Amino acid sequence: MSAESHRTDRIAVIDDESESLASICRALKKVGYDVSSFEDGVAAVQNLEALQDVDLVVTDLKMPRVDGIQVLRKVRAVNREAGFLIVTGHGTVETAVEALKSGADDYILKPLDLFELRERVRQILEKRRPENELRFLRRQIAAGGMSSIVGKSAAIQRLQEQITIVAPTRSTVLLLGESGTGKDLAAQTIHASSPRSGASFLPLNCAALSPTLLESELFGHEKGAFTGAVERRLGKLELADRGTLFLDEIGEMPLEMQVKLLRFLETREIMRVGGSSPLTLDIRLIAATNRELALAVQQQKFRTDLYYRLKVVTLVMPPLRDRTEDIPLLVWHFLTQFSAEHGRPSLSISEEALRALVRYPWPGNVRELKNLIENLVVFSKQPLLQLADLPLEMRQPAANGFPSSTRLGLFEELNMNSIERQAILQALERTGGNRAKAAQLLGIGLRTLQTKLKEYGMTER
C-alpha cells in the first residue's frame, strides 16, 4: 500500500534545533505531506509569502528573537486558515496554553513521539479542512475563473496537466467519460487556453438532431436547397472558422454523417447543402462521448477510420466516485456560485452533511452534485446546510461493506496510512500477535511488516 496521504497538505515546520527540525520533517514527509522547513522564527517571518498557502504550521515555542507565538500572529495576518501546532517542553506548558488562547490549535510536548505528532497533525488538518478547501477554491477561481475545472485530486491534476499540454496545439481531441463528468467544461477549458480563445467556441449535440437536421446544422445550406430553406444558413463548421467546434455525443452520430465529417477532417473543406463550391476552414475539433467507441467500432456502429481520426489525443474524464477528495471543493464551489447567481446569502455545510456527500456514489457525477447544490441553495432556510436537508438516499449509511465515514472521520477512509495501519492491527489481533502469521494473512513479507510496525510506531504494542 502507498504511504501517501489522500491529498498533499502543505506543512511548514519551524524549529531552531536542527536535529529536531530534521526529525519532524522526515516524519511528516514519510506519510506524504508537502513539507517546508525554517531554521528559526526569524527565517519564518522573513518568508511570510511562502507561508500564505500552507495548511498547517508546526512551530517550536521557545526560539531566540522570534518565538512561536510571534510566528503565529505574523502568519495569521497573511493566512487566517492555517492550523498551528505548538511544540514545547514540559517547563513551558503554561506558555503553551497562552499560545492556545492566541489562536493555536494544539500543542505537543517534547520529547516528541512521532506517531503522536502525525496523529495531532492529521486531526488539526481534518478540523480545518473546510477553511482550507475554501481558500484553495478562492485561489483557483482567482487563477482560472469560475469556468475552470475544479479539483485537486491526482486524476484532476493529471487532466489539467494534459489540457495545458494539448490546448496550444491544433490536435483534434476526443474526450471520454461517463455522463455528467464535465466533458463540456473540459472542452471549454481547452478552447479558453488555446490561441483560438478569441474566436468562437460552438457546441453541437449530435444526439439531439435527426440526420437531415444534423447535416444542415453542421454544414449549412443554400437558399432553396430543400423545402423550407427560404434563405442561406451558415453551419456550425463555417461559424466556428478559426475557432473550436465541440461535437458532444459523437458516438450517436449516424453512419452517413460520420462519412461526411471524416471527409472534412481529411480535406478541411465543406460544401453547404445545395451548394456548388467548397469552402476551406480552419477549425479545432473537440469530440466527446460516454459510449465505448472501440466497442461501437467492433459492432460496426462507428467508422474505424473516423475513430482513429478523432482519437489523435484522448483525454479521459474521471467519474466523481474515483475522486472523492474533490467533493468538498466542488461543494464550496457550487455553494459560492449559486448563492451569487440566485442572490442568496452565503451558505455553509455541516461536517455530517459533507461526510454523507463524500460517502454517496454519485451515479450522475458532477452534474448530479451541481444540481443538488443549486436545489439546496434555492430552498435553504438556514445559513448552515444539515444532513436532514439532503435527499434520503444520501443520508443512508454506506451499504457497500466499507466502513462509513462517520466511523472513520471525514476523509480518513481515503487516507492509505489509516487503512494500512488498521489492516495491520486487525491481522495481529486475528493471529494473537504472531507477526509471521499476520504477514502471511496480509500477503506481505515478515520484514515488510516489521518495517511497517516501526514506521507507525507500533513496535511496542
What does the pLDDT look like over 55-67, one tens digit per residue? 899 999 989 899 9
What does the pLDDT look like over 12-28, one tens digit per residue? 999 999 999 999 999 99
Greater pLDDT, 246 or 146: 246
Q: Are 181 and 317 in contact (CB under 8 A)?
A: yes
- Residue 213 has a pLDDT of 85
DSSP lists the bridge partners of residue 88 as 109
Banded model confidence at residue 111, pLDDT cuts 50, 70, 90: confident
In this structure, what C-alpha cell is assigned to residue 166? 494539448
pTM: 0.60
> Which DSSP letter does residue 52 get?
T
Among 286, 370, 388, CA closest to 320: 370
Instruction: Determine what percent of the chain is predicted with pLDDT higher than 90.
Output: 46
Question: What is 321-408's CATH topology?
Answer: Helicase, Ruva Protein; domain 3 (1.10.8)
Sheet holding 10-14, edge to edge: 34-38, 10-14, 56-60, 83-88, 106-109
Question: What is 415-455's CATH topology?
Answer: Arc Repressor Mutant, subunit A (1.10.10)
> Which DSSP letter does residue 174 get?
E
Banded model confidence at residue 247, pLDDT cuts 50, 70, 90: very high
Banded model confidence at residue 127, pLDDT cuts 50, 70, 90: confident
- Residue 232 has a pLDDT of 77
DSSP lists the bridge partners of residue 313 as 173
Domain regions of the chain by residue span: 10-142, 154-316, 321-408, 415-455
Instruction: Report the C-alpha dihedral over residues 166, 172, 173, 179, rounded to 10 degrees.
Output: 150
Q: Say whether pLDDT at 400 is over 50.
A: no
Among 54, 53, 56, 73, CA closest to 142: 53
Helices (H), 268-326: 293-298, 304-310
Among 17, 20, 116, 99, CA closest to 61: 99
In this structure, what C-alpha cell is assigned to residue 2? 502507498
Regarding the domain with residue range 10-142, which homologous superfamily does it belong to in the CATH classification?
Response regulator (3.40.50.2300)
* Mean pLDDT on 381-390: 91
- Residue 264 has a pLDDT of 94
CB proximity list for 261: less than 8 A, separation 6 or greater: 218, 247, 253, 306
Lowest mean pLDDT among 346-360, 370-384, 440-454: 440-454
Q: What are phi and psi of 364, to 5 degrees?
A: -90, 5
Among 334, 317, 329, CA closest to 370: 334
CA distance 155 to 321: 11
Banded model confidence at residue 91, pLDDT cuts 50, 70, 90: low
CA distance 385 to 382: 7
**Helical packing angle, 68-78 and 93-101, nearest 10°:** 20
CA distance 345 to 333: 15
Q: Say whether pLDDT at 416 is over 80.
A: no
* Mean pLDDT on 232-248: 91
Greater pLDDT, 191 or 136: 191
What does the pLDDT look like over 266-307, one tens digit per residue? 999 988 887 778 889 999 999 999 999 999 999 999 999 999
Greater pLDDT, 110 or 178: 178
Helices (H), strands (E): how many in the chain? Answer: 20, 14
- Residue 138 has a pLDDT of 56
Lowest mean pLDDT among 164-173, 241-250, 396-405: 396-405
* Mean pLDDT on 353-368: 93
Lowest mean pLDDT among 224-228, 359-363, 372-376: 224-228
Q: Are 123 and 95 in contact (CB under 8 A)?
A: no
Peptide bond into 111 cis (omega under 30): yes
For residue 352, CA distances in Å to 82, 140, 338, 395 come to: 22, 26, 21, 10
Query: Position of cell 520533517?
Result: 25
- Residue 415 has a pLDDT of 47
Q: Say whether pLDDT at 360 is over 80.
A: yes
- Residue 90 has a pLDDT of 67
User: Is-same-fold flag (10-142; 415-455)?
Assistant: no
- Dihedral (CA of 323, 327, 328, 333) sign: positive
For residue 255, CA distances in Å to 215, 218, 236, 237, 250 come to: 12, 15, 19, 18, 11
Q: Say whether pLDDT at 447 is over 80.
A: no
Regarding the domain with residue range 154-316, which homologous superfamily does it belong to in the CATH classification?
P-loop containing nucleotide triphosphate hydrolases (3.40.50.300)
Q: Where are the beta strands (DSSP E) in 39-116?
A: 56-60, 83-88, 106-109
Element (H, E) at 349: strand 348-349
Q: Say whether pLDDT at 417 is over 70.
A: no
